Amino acid sequence: MDIDQMELYKTLTEKMEVQEIQKYFIKMAEIRGFATQSPSEKLLLLIEEVGELAKAIRKEDKTFPVDKEKCKKNEGDSIEGELADVFIVLCTLCNSLNIDLANCILSKEKININRKWS
């Protein structure tokens, strides 16, 4: 990890708000060279990350066998790591669309509260 990434990483805490995390990923995307990706490119990456999450969950779920040999190159991919990747890419997608994810969640939950769930 180069010095810029390490210095930026040191600003992350467990108590950060979603807006702060999104700001972090604006800077990190610039450092890593992903800031110019289009929303479509980020969406495809998000879908890929969700697929990796599904595979990590399948590895843990004995009812859905996974070919361990095919998965060896990704042995370090944990459910937790893949969930983090999904959230990271979701934040960068929101950033590329100038969308505040926290406000979206609040607005959507206000709608969901009034829905009839069956």
Q: For residue 88, which of 30, 40, 24 has the smallest C-alpha distance?
A: 24
Instruction: Map out the domains of the chain with their CATH numbers.
Output: 3-9+17-113 (1.10.287.1080)
pLDDT of residue 67: 64
Q: Does 13 have pLDDT greater than 80?
A: yes
The residue whose two tokens read 């406000």 is: 103
pLDDT tens, position by position, 77-113: 799 999 999 999 999 999 999 999 999 999 999 999 9
Contact 89, 45 (CB under 8 A): yes
pLDDT tens, position by position, 23-39: 999 999 999 999 999 99
Give the pLDDT band of residue 66 (cuts 50, 70, 90).
low
Q: Give this prediction's pTM.
A: 0.84
- The mean predicted confidence, pLDDT, of the chain is 90
pLDDT of residue 90: 98
DSSP letters spanning 43-85: HHHHHHHHHHHHHHHHHH-TTS---HHHHGGGTT--HHHHHHH
In the chain, the N- to C-terminal Cα span, in Å, equals: 48
pLDDT tens, position by position, 102-112: 999 999 999 99
